[in-house]
A and B are shown apart, each in its own frame.
Chain A
Amino acid sequence: MTALTIKDLNKVYESGKQALQNVSLTVPKGVFFALLGPNGAGKSTLINILADTVRASSGSVSLLGHDLLTERAWGKRHLGVVPQEIAFDPFFSPREILHFTRGMYGQKRDEAWVNDLLERLELSEHANKITRQLSGGMKRRLLVAQALVHRPKVVILDEPTAGVDVELRKRLWDFIRELNAQGTTVLLTTHYLEEAQELCDHVAIINQGQVIASQSMQSLLGDVASSNLCCRYEQPVKLLESQKQALQAFAPRVCDGVLCLNLQHQEGQSNFDAAYQAARQALGVPLDTYIRQENLEDVFLRLTHKDTR
């Protein structure tokens, strides 16, 4: 069974902006799934439709076999969502907020689970403070606790670690990994692509409202990722339009001032020589060259055709 099946989902806002265009996506049950995309790609719109804070224009969504758009109450009981924007009720403490949230999901008070959540998210010391007094990182962790307090089967985390320091982030991920190992399906959006590569076993990339890749992390990095010829010059590289044109066949990008050319592999041979000669002709003889395997970030940037190309 799949955790989430999204079919032909469209969203057109009143302004006329089409945020999602025939989005279809399958999230297998029990996976750690990364939903990636540049800012404004439609990730949050998709999550907000799942969370019932935005209406879909058309399409269908199934959660654990139930139609999420028509069986909302059932779906909501099994879904936990961490919204991207920090939000907190200034009248109540984290402990009260967690009890209220659990109650609103129709579940009886569970002091042990609330204490466990507060401890695992390192909020125990601040459990009885008014939320206004919490730091940004603490408020973010409280949002995670709120999404988990009713023990959902599917959890959606919309950039849950923005503003959380490295140490805490690591411990937060350890906790989420534990929940995932116990069977909770996790759908994550993040701009920390290294984290996504390390944590997630499936990945989908969304760009301009359309899904442009959706597969297991292993197959994405195996099939789509390739190697790069990296050329370092005396001065950090800044590509002119004419140089971009000359190197077009190698999808040129500049990473930290180093020219990176995409290498194609066919029957055990690569086009290394052609790429090296093209670089020499366009920018001169490099000081240094090396081969680097693409990671998720390289694939992401290449697929979304962005920035440094």
Chain B
Amino acid sequence: MSSMNILGTWTLFQRETKRFMRVKMQTIAAPALTAVLYLIVFHYAMGERQVPGLDVDYFTFLIPGLMMMAMLQNAFANTSSSMIMGKIMNTHVFLMMAPISPTEALIAFLSASVLRAFVVGSVLLLVLLPFSDLQITHVWMILFYGVCGSLFMGSLGLIAGMWSKTFDDMSMVTNFVIMPLTFLSGVFYSVQQLPPLWQSLNEWNPFFYLIDGFRQGFIATGDSDPVHAIGMVLVLTVSLVILAWYLWKIGWKLKD
């Protein structure tokens, strides 16, 4: 049978969604609290200062960055935790035994990642909005970077989950790859504040384009050229989705 297993895809999406909804405190409430804590700390540390070169106050600059950072981290966590838990607890065999093609599996996993990212992003926006007069200026940019960022990170989470054999392997990816790239991507500062060498290096950091582009959807200004950023994000996202699909298809690190 070559037709798509729509019910199977929908069921897998539901399973991946219910999984994160079962632990709401960890997946939704905790990122919201972390973002509020960041805001409080930076509010007192930075006062009423403006971000150099962007003509926007630091507080307003910070909120979209924090939102996007949480969205990216949660999109990654949704697929990576599902994969690594499945491997450790051996439940991944049920997925491999089911008549779900690589395309169907990817649609289900990545849709759940996007949903989790947007749920977390929306909760953060609702929690942080009272602290600021943030406006939405380009909805399409917020949606474009939000969706692409979630697909990018969801795919990365799938690949990291396939690669990892232990929770320690996964922790290594999270702490030594994802965290540094996120923190050094301009969530907390404008890259124009960096020395020229770091500015050049930042041009190779995909998180920089995702966070800066998402932020431009709110404050209508940023550090990256919009056309260049959209191109970079599209190429990186499509490439990573295709890579995740291919690795799933060949059963990389899943099948002997």
A: residues with CB less than 8 A from B are: 13-14, 48, 51-55, 72-74, 76-77, 79, 81, 83, 85-92, 96, 100-101, 103-108, 146
Q: A55-B255, A103-B11, A104-B12 are in contact. Are A81 and B89 (CB under 8 A)?
A: no
Q: A76-B99, A90-B89, A103-B8 are in contact. Are A146 and B94 (CB under 8 A)?
A: yes
Does B1 reach chain A (CB closer than 8 Å)?
Answer: yes
Are A106 and B256 in touch, CB under 8 angstroms? no
Q: How many residues of B contact A (CB 8 A)?
A: 30
Are A51 and B93 in touch, CB under 8 angstroms? yes
Q: Chain B contacts of A103 at CB under 8 A?
A: 7-8, 10-11, 14
Q: A52-B97, A107-B7, A108-B7 are in contact. Are A74 and B256 (CB under 8 A)?
A: no
What separation, in Å, do the CA atoms of A193 and B5 have in the docked complex? 40
Q: A55-B255, A72-B99, A101-B98 are in contact. Are A106 and B90 (CB under 8 A)?
A: no
B: residues with CB less than 8 A from A are: 1-2, 5-8, 10-12, 14-15, 18-19, 22-23, 89-91, 93-101, 251, 255-256
What separation, in Å, do the CA atoms of A86 and B61 have in the docked complex? 50
Q: A54-B256, A83-B93 are in contact. Are A73 and B5 (CB under 8 A)?
A: yes
Q: Chain B contacts of A88 at CB under 8 A?
A: 89, 91
What separation, in Å, do the CA atoms of A85 and B86 have in the docked complex? 13
Residue of B nearest to A146 (CB): B94
What separation, in Å, do the CA atoms of A81 and B96 have in the docked complex? 11
- The 8 A-B residue pairs whose C-beta atoms are closest, nearest first, are A103-B11, A87-B90, A76-B99, A104-B98, A73-B99, A106-B5, A104-B8, A106-B8
Are B91 and A106 in touch, CB under 8 angstroms? no
Residue of A nearest to B23 (CB): A91
Min CB distance A98 to B, Å, is 11
Are B100 and A83 in touch, CB under 8 angstroms? no
Are B255 and A53 in touch, CB under 8 angstroms? yes
**Interface pairs (16), CB distance under 8 Å:** A51-B93, A52-B97, A53-B97, A54-B256, A55-B255, A87-B89, A90-B89, A100-B14, A101-B98, A103-B10, A103-B14, A104-B8, A104-B15, A104-B99, A105-B8, A108-B7
What separation, in Å, do the CA atoms of A73 and B3 have in the docked complex? 10
Are A81 and B97 in touch, CB under 8 angstroms? yes
